[in-house]
Amino acid sequence: MQAVFHTNTQDLDIKFLEFLKSNFQNAKIDIFVKEIDETEYLNSSPENKKRLESAIQKVNKKQFINKSIQELGL
């Protein structure tokens, strides 16, 4: 069985270790840690990358959406 967990280091706690121990009972496991570049992660999906690039182009062209506090419901 394989599993990939995406998390932040501050979220790692004893519960996570207990989860691993209960789901991989008596198994030898490898734990691989890779620091994720947020830009790389956000661009990992082609659809998400396209949306982000479109949003950047709109900002560069100063195509903003203006909303009042009332319209936002805040």
Give 5-45 as a 3 state SS string: CCCCHHHCCHHHHHHHHHHCCCCCCCCCCCCCCHHHHHCCC
Q: Which amino acid is at 62?
A: K
Contact yes or no for 52/43 (Cβ under 8 A): yes
pLDDT digits (tens, 9 = 90+) for 46-66: 998 999 899 899 999 988 888
Query: Which pLDDT belongs to residue 6?
Result: 86
Of 51, 33, 30, nearest in space to 42 by CA: 51
Cβ–Cβ under 8 Å, residues 12 and 19: no
**Per-residue pLDDT reduced to its tens digit, 1-19:** 888 888 889 999 999 999 9
Domain edges within the chain: 9-72
Average pLDDT (24-38) is 89
Q: Which pLDDT does position 53 carry in this prediction?
A: 92
CB 33 within 8 A of CB 5: no
Q: Is the pLDDT of residue 40 over 90?
A: no
Q: pTM above the 0.75 mark?
A: no
